[in-house]
Copies of this chain bind each other. A is one copy, B any other.
Amino acid sequence: MTIEGRDYNIYVGKEELSLLPALLLPYKKVMIVTDENVAPLYLEGLKRELNDACEVHSHVICAGERSKCVKVYLEIVNDMLDSNFTRSDAVVALGGGVVGDLAGFVSATYMRGIDYFQIPTSLLAMIDSSIGSKTGIDLERGKNLIGSFYSPKAVFIDTNRLMTLPREQIRAGLGEGVKYACLMGGEAFDMLERGLSDYDDFVRRCVEYKLGVVEGDMREAGLRRLLNLGHTLAHAIEAKKKFEIEHGVAVGMGIYFMAKAANANGELCQSELERVVKLLEKYELLERISEIDVSELFSFLRADKKSYGDGIYAVKLEKIGQCRVEKMSFEQFEDYVRGGCGR
């Protein structure tokens, strides 16, 4: 199945990857960037598929967010220089969000930009990070502090790859999944409630939704902020817990607090609040919710001046399938969220 974006196509399905070799024919060389978890599963197979199209190189990084740093970025760039990659060669990002963001930033900046292709292998990357052209790496002071908006030439999503993922990784992806379900409502929400037997349909809906939003607002000036539902509190939860809670789980918790706040504020009705909470529980996103004291989160937001400057764009969940962005001062946001927790 092909989802046609303005700048590039997204191919969803097992068979679709067979289109990649033809797309790589114009390039002399390709560098596959992947990590040590994904490499044993898919690297050799992908190399075999691409070998007839062009000269195939690979660079395997350590798994995890720590690899999204300047050091590993420069290692990949230097590896490509050693192998005489020119601006008319290409990169393939084979992996989850870390590999996609990092390989995307390498592609955005190597000799001022070379073409790249995304093959996301985690649910989080399939429905979220591989779509929207965001690339970036972390600095000591925080995540994604340098990066750029740079679109891939194509994205290949094969949800069969999810079957090989450990349970925690699927759960982390479903935090973003619940976010999309809340934003879209309707059948997308119902599907998650019923349980996902086949991921393809749900992934396609998320991708189409996200693509529609980001194409209307590439640089995050307005509409794109909707995608931050649950994320403001999630960032604070991650910081408070020193990043030992996965991003997707923190997003689930953030949605929980925003849903409670909306309900207390007379926006989200009781029955819909219950549906949202039940969905978060079903996907095991609230197992550690008792560890989070919401009143301790606001100091993290206030300290993060570079992200929030003079206030917060709160994404309010007014109904399932209907969210709204509202700019608030820190005080307003704190009052709003505390209202939902009765503190």
Evaluate whether A309 and B84 lie within 8 angstroms (CB atoms) in the complex, with A74-B70, A136-B112 already known. yes
A299 to chain B, nearest CB (A): 16
Evaluate whether A306 and B149 lie within 8 angstroms (CB atoms) in the complex, with A81-B139, A141-B81 already known. no
In the complex, how many residues of chain A place their beta carbon closer than 8 angstroms to a beta carbon of chain B?
35
Which secondary structure dominates where chain A touches chain B?
mixed
Determine if B77 and A145 form an interchain contact, defined as CB atoms under 8 angstroms apart: yes
Neighbouring B residues of A109 by C-beta, 8 Å: 109, 146-148
Determine if B307 and A86 form an interchain contact, defined as CB atoms under 8 angstroms apart: yes
Evaluate whether A309 and B88 lie within 8 angstroms (CB atoms) in the complex, with A70-B74, A139-B77, A139-B78 already known. yes
Query: How far is it, in angstroms, between the C-alpha of A258 and the C-alpha of B173 when the chains are bound?
Result: 59
Within 8 A of B (CB), among A137-163: 139, 141-142, 144-149
Determine if A84 and B146 form an interchain contact, defined as CB atoms under 8 angstroms apart: no
Residues of A within 8 A of B (CB): 28, 70, 74, 77-78, 81, 84-88, 108-113, 134-136, 139, 141-142, 144-149, 219-220, 305-307, 309
- 7 tightest A-B contacts by CB? A84-B305, A112-B147, A109-B146, A86-B309, A81-B141, A84-B306, A112-B148
| Besides A77-B145, A81-B139, A112-B146, 4 other A-B contacts (C-beta < 8 A) | A78-B139, A86-B306, A86-B309, A112-B147
